[in-house]
Structure 1
Amino acid sequence: MLTYLGIIMVIIGVTIFIIKPFFKESKLLHKFTRQRNIAMILIGLCMSVISGMFFYAEPGTAYAVQYPWGSQKAVVNQGINTKMWGRLIPIQFELPIKYVIPNKKNELGEQSKYANVDKAKYWAFSDAVKARIATSVVISINTADEDQFLSVADRNKTEKNLIRSRIIPNIDQSIKNTCKLMDAQDYISGQASDFDRYFKDQLENGMYVLEEFIATETRETIGDSTTVRTIPNKESKQKRFRIKYHNGEPVREKGNSLRGYGLTVVQAVVTEIDWEPEFDKRLQLQKEEVAQTQLEKQQAEREFYRAQKEIARGEAEKAAERARLEKEQIQKTIEAETKAKVAEFNLIEERKNYEVAQFKAKTQKTMADAQSYENAKLVNAGLTPQERAEWEYKTSVNVAKQLKDLKLPEIYIQDGGKSDKDANLLQSLIGADLAKKMMSQKTSKE
């Protein structure tokens, strides 16, 4: 601006010097004295020289300065710098490029003056569904390598030309390739992040080389797991594309990369997608169908779990009944075993009692035999009638007392093999009584 103003001042001053002799009577020209004309020319020259020698570098902008004598330099720091009437090519450090879906009034809305904004275009996915894709891309230039920056500025001349001829074509090609790699249904089913990843990778490292392939039909399970049907898919007969790989790495188109220009992709995302009306209708129907399917699935799962609950309740009742019966069985078994043990112990006790009673009986028998023998000896010795009467009295009292004290067992089991050797107690007492009577008769006869 100062350059143009200075040149105008110089032209006006020179013109006044030329035409003033021909208009001597003009009062206006008389106001421009010789000194004023010279001062105006000098000021104009200074203004044009100063503005041509220096420029102000704005922050966030790199400048390629091309001098008239052929050399050039890069200026990346803000402030006043020399340009010496050279040419300036300003390029921002980061170049925001946006595709925006216009509103109903066909307006793009409020945007920054530093961003390059265009209307979003329609792109076709692999299943032929079209949509306008709004993207936000930020490209960073390489200011660390001065030679590369100057080369990019020299080849593209202006920042706008760099964006239009280099960056936007790469963005469009990346979107086109990425749309070929997936269906619209795949995008809304969870592959949106893959779309962004493919989009950014192609922008930064180069476009993928795509190859056609025949899609195989997928088998879908209908009903329970034992009933499997193959659902024909007409879309599978269309052309499908996938990334071509070599040695595990994707094959890329040569010479079609922003990295070759020293540009780095800072951001590349899809901000919005406006599907065509036909797909919106189909998508709405699909959402309703999915909602209905989910509802039926939930109902089926509810019935299934209800049946499982009834089965579990029946199993629990059976287990409780089984436990109750097993408990009763165990109680009865324990009671029977207890009775058997008690009977066994009673039998052992009775046997011991019998053995004790038998031993006592034998003892009493032995004592009775000894007493009978003693009595017989005394009789044989010859007693006086008074002594014999006293002896008989004492003997009868003693025997009666022993019979009274004697307790015979209620049950007596006799061993047949020993009947001749061991007589029972009753026989012994009867024998003793007979012996006494015989001795009495013998004594009376004498």
Structure 2
Amino acid sequence: MITIFGIFIVLGGIATLFLRLFIKNNPTLNWFSTRKSIQIILVGAALSVISGMFFYAEPGTAYAVQYPWGGQKGVFRQGINTKMWGRLIPIQFELPIKYVIPNGEGEVGEQSKYANVDIAKYWAFSDAVKARIATSVVISINTEDEHQFLSVADRNKTERNLIRSRIIPNIDQAIKNTCKLMDAQDYISGQAADFDRYFKDQLENGMYQLEEFTLNQKPDVIGDSTTIRTVVNKEAKQKRFKIKVRNGEIIRERGNSLKAYGLTVIQAVVTEIDWEETFDKRLQLQKEEVAQTQLEKQQAEREFYRAQKEKAKGEANKAQERARLEKEQIQQTIEAETKAKVAEFNLVEERKKYEVAQFQAKTKKTLADAEAYQNAKLVSAGLTPQERAEWEYKTSVGVARELKELKLPQVYMEGSQKQGEGNLLQSLIGAEMAKNMVQKRE
């Protein structure tokens, strides 16, 4: 711009010199003296020279300066730099390239002079479903290696040519290869992240070499124990593509990489996909089916939890009843154990009473034996017949009275006796009668 302005100033100075030769007595032309005209020409020439010698480098832009004598240099800093009438090839540090889906009027929205914006193209997935794929890619140039930058600038001449002839073809090839690796159904079912990963990896490291393979689908068998029908899909054999791999390494296309131009992929993502109308209808049906399935699932879960609630309630009732029965059982057990203990104590008490009665009976028998022995001695000492008869009478009367008053144990157990030994009852009666007789005689 300064050069053109300087040229106009030079032409104006030359014009004033020639006009003064042909037009006389003109106040305006008389003001432009020969000296002033020459000064104007020199100022215009200086402006033209200055604009050819220097240029202003904008921030965020690298410049390849190619001199008329064949040399060149790279400028990566903003400010005023020399170009010495050389050619400038400006290239931005980062090159934004976007594919956008047009609106209903066919417009792509707001444009920017720093971004390359194009309308998104239709691409076919492996199941032949087509869609417009909007992408956002940011490419960075190499500002560290001046030689490589100058080589790229020299081979591509302009930034626009670099984008159109090098970068966009790589983007298109990466999208095409990635679409071949999956179905549209796979993309919407959770492989969108894989799509972005494959897309960026190919831009950074080179295009995949793909090989075709056939996916044989087994026919579905529908039926029960009596009837079986085989449903065969007409598209049972579907052509698919996969990445070629050798010795665990991915095989890529040679020479088809942005790295060869010193370009680095900063960003490569899919921002939007506009599916074809038929697939949109299929997606809508799937959404409705999924919504219905979710509703039925929720209803089934509700019934399940209701059944679990009833089951838990029944278990709680069972536990409560079990606790009640266990409490009753414990009470009955304690009562039974108490009765058993009482019976055991009673048995011990009766046994003690019996033992006491036995000892008392033995004591009385011993005393009776002693009294009988004494009486026998008295009798053997000599009684008159009259005294004997009187003694026998009194003895019988006393025996009768003693038998009446005699208190024997309620329980009596008789064991075996040796031959010649008398009955305990007889011994007791005899002892008591003998005792009474002795007392009366005294």
TM-score, reference length from structure 1: 0.83
Tell whether the 8 Å contact from 1:204 to 1:258 is kept in structure 2 after alignment: yes
1:46-195 correspondence to structure 2 within 5 Å: 46-195=46-195
For 1:95 and 1:412, the matched residues in 2 are separated by: 127
1:268-347 correspondence to structure 2 within 5 Å: 268-311=268-311, 313-314=313-314, 317=317, 328=328, 332=332, 335-336=335-336, 338-340=338-340, 342-347=342-347
Query: Structure 1 pair 406/437, CA: closer, same or farther in 2 (3 Å)?
Result: closer
TM-score, reference length from structure 2: 0.84
The CA deviation string for residues 11-35 of structure 1, in whole angstroms up to 9 with x for no partner, is 3434554565455577765553211
Tell whether the 8 Å contact from 1:126 to 1:179 is kept in structure 2 after alignment: yes
Per the alignment, residue 351 of structure 2 pairs with 351
Q: Return 5+ residue gaps in structure 1 as ranges.
A: 384-394
Per the alignment, residue 38 of structure 1 pairs with 38
Q: What is the number of equivalent residue pairs in this alignment?
A: 430
Tell whether the 8 Å contact from 1:196 to 1:269 is kept in structure 2 after alignment: yes
Mean Cα displacement is larger for which, 76-85 or 5-14?
5-14
The CA deviation string for residues 162-212 of structure 1, in whole angstroms up to 9 with x for no partner, is 111111111111111111111111111111111111111111111111111
Could you say what secondary structure the match of 1:238 adopts?
Answer: strand
Could you say what secondary structure the match of 2:136 adopts?
Answer: strand
Could you say what secondary structure the match of 2:215 adopts?
Answer: coil
| CA RMSD between the two structures | 3.9
The CA deviation string for residues 205-262 of structure 1, in whole angstroms up to 9 with x for no partner, is 11111111112437989999xxx99875555533211111122222111111111111
For 2:116 and 2:49, the matched residues in 1 are separated by: 34
Tell whether the 8 Å contact from 1:120 to 1:132 is kept in structure 2 after alignment: yes
Query: Structure 1 pair 137/300, CA: closer, same or farther in 2 (3 Å)?
Result: same
Q: CA deviation at 1:111?
A: 3.4
Per the alignment, residue 8 of structure 2 pairs with 8
Q: CA deviation at 1:336?
A: 4.6
For 1:222 and 1:293, the matched residues in 2 are separated by: 21
Per the alignment, residue 365 of structure 1 pairs with 365
Per the alignment, residue 388 of structure 1 pairs with none
Query: Structure 1 pair 405/41, CA: closer, same or farther in 2 (3 Å)?
Result: farther
Per the alignment, residue 200 of structure 2 pairs with 200
Query: Structure 1 pair 421/50, CA: closer, same or farther in 2 (3 Å)?
Result: farther
Tell whether the 8 Å contact from 1:127 to 1:235 is kept in structure 2 after alignment: no
Q: CA deviation at 1:112?
A: 3.1
Q: CA deviation at 1:429?
A: 3.5
Could you say what secondary structure the match of 2:182 adopts?
Answer: coil
Q: Which amino acid is the alignment partner of residue 127 of structure 1?
A: D
Query: Structure 1 pair 436/267, CA: closer, same or farther in 2 (3 Å)?
Result: closer
Per the alignment, residue 418 of structure 1 pairs with 417
Query: Structure 1 pair 157/132, CA: closer, same or farther in 2 (3 Å)?
Result: same
